[in-house]
Amino acid sequence: FPAKAPLRAVIDQRREAASGAPAGWPVRVSGDPLQPYVATLGDAPWTQDLPILLPRGRLASDAKGHAWWRANDGAAALPLANAPSGVARGADLEAAVAIWTGTRARLLAAQTSWGRIDGGA
């Protein structure tokens, strides 16, 4: 496929899971959320974007208006490419998934105590 990012797959059909219940989050992660990215760069240094799982944390904005994700244990903080809305800012995130671009994380979705939010929420 001639494009900046080669086409790897096409979703042909979308259906509900067999159980009908929403799929759960992957296994909870802890430690450095960028470790999978670093390991991938060792095998494929041309990697630009990689999905990462974020452990428990919060979304916030600093005094300059830049958005951040910060782990609850204070062990990690990542700059965000997309700013969280007022609803998501400060919420306790049980888990989250983002795309790490090498410099910023683009939040895709997060699980909170009141339910799932999308990256634009």
pLDDT score for 44: 84
CA dihedral 34, 37, 38, 44 (to 10 degrees): 180
Report pTM.
0.70
pLDDT score for 17: 64
pLDDT score for 99: 92
**How is residue 105 written in tokens?**
């994380």
pLDDT score for 111: 86
Where the chain has pLDDT below 50, the residues are 121
pLDDT tens digits, 43-74: 888 888 889 888 888 888 888 888 888 888 88
